[in-house]
Amino acid sequence: MQIKFEQVLLAGTPTYSVLGRPFIYNTWVEGLFESISDSDKTLVFKKKRRKQYKKSFGSRIKLTSVRIMKIVHELKE
């Protein structure tokens, strides 16, 4: 599935870069979804000493991999 990102913050080459304030106008990035997966489980443990209070819970965050295919920057002159 292809996606188009139209709000670009930074674009350029190793010798030249453009920084947007807040975004770069006439610039977009085309990408391709690779995969959606879960991250490693993050465990949270709470304890209050001498109160016999213990609580443990965890969560997994969804991660999305996107392959950047093309960065298009149209210059207005």
Residue ranges covered by each domain of the chain: 2-73
N-terminal to C-terminal alpha carbon distance within the chain: 34
Q: pLDDT, tens digit, for every residue of 9-49?
A: 998 888 988 898 899 988 999 999 999 999 999 999 999 99
Closest CA to 73 of 3, 16, 2: 16
Closest CA to 36 of 74, 63, 9, 70: 63
**Mean pLDDT confidence for 49-58:** 95
Q: Is 68 within 8 Å of 29 (Cβ atoms)?
A: yes
Q: pLDDT, tens digit, for every residue of 57-68?
A: 999 999 999 999
Q: Is the pLDDT of residue 77 over 80?
A: no
Q: What is the pLDDT of residue 4?
A: 95
Q: Is the pLDDT of residue 76 over 70?
A: no
Here the tokens at position 40 are: 């490693």
Q: What is the pLDDT of residue 52?
A: 94
